[in-house]
Amino acid sequence: MPPPPHHHRSQSAVTRFIRPEEIDALLEPWVPDAEDRRFLTRCLVEEGPLHHRGANFVLLRLLGELSRAVASGPERPAPGPGLPVPMRLPPHLRPDGEDDAVYPIRLPERAVERLAPRGSRDFDAIVDCLADGPPQHAVANVLMATILDDLLRRSGR
């Protein structure tokens, strides 16, 4: 008999379908450093609430499938200028340098510019929404925006 609609599956049922190495492979075109990828992969599918780990894996893998289906060759994406994805720190603990407390992935400005002109209030608000929050949100948002922007670019948009 199937479980009721809101029955929660066990923890092992969720972690079993998550394959971190597939997320690592998905990141590779945009994050060349293997240790950076390992860190981001952990943030995406191995930390935080279980349902986020599972959902991130599913959505990113599906985007990866789509990306492979659309790709015409081994062309390496050129994401263009990117914006930093800051870690969530208490406000009084400001980082020493530009890359001190940011995740090793950047939000492509071009993805945001598809929806709002650079420098506009909307542009800034979109960036804030995508890059804010713990990494199971922020890094996932940025990676999805990166892949979607790449797909649109390769579709001639």
Partner 1 sequence: MSFFAPGLEDAFRTAAAELGMCSASRLFVREAASDGPDAVAELSDRLGRPFPVLDAVAAAALEGAPLRGVDPGEVLATLAGLRRLLVAGFEADFLDALVRALSGEVRVGLVRTAFLEGDWERIADNYAGRLELVEMAAFAGWAGPRSGLLTFLYGVEGAVTHVAPAWLRVAGDDVRPIFRELVGWDVLGRPMSLYPRWLTEVPAGSFTRLA
Interaction site with partner 1 (CB under 8 A): 35-36, 38-39, 42-43, 47-48, 87-90, 93-95, 99-104, 134-136
User: In angstroms, what is the minimal distance from the CB of 8 to partner 1?
Assistant: 19
| Cβ contacts of 151 within 8 Å, gap of 6 or more | 63, 66, 67, 70
User: Is there a contact between 102 and 86 (Cβ–Cβ < 8 Å)?
Assistant: yes
Q: In this structure, are residues 42 and 136 in contact, taking their beta carbons and an 8 Å threshold?
A: no
Q: Min. distance of Cβ 71 from partner 1 in angstroms?
A: 28
Residue 121 phi/psi, 5° resolution? -65, -35
Residue 145 CB, nearest approach to partner 1 (Å): 19
**8 Å CB contact between 66 and 26:** no
Are 26 and 48 contacting, i.e. CB atoms less than 8 angstroms apart? no
Comparison of 30 and 103: residue with beta carbon closer to partner 1: 103
Q: Which is nearer to partner 1, 35 or 128 (CB)?
A: 35
* In the complex, least distance from residue 13 CB atom to partner 1, rounded to whole angstroms: 18
Dihedral pair phi/psi, residue 148, rounded to 5°: -65, -40
User: Residue 96 corresponds to which amino acid?
Assistant: D
28 or 99: whose CB is closer to partner 1? 99
Which is nearer to partner 1, 1 or 98 (by Cβ)? 98
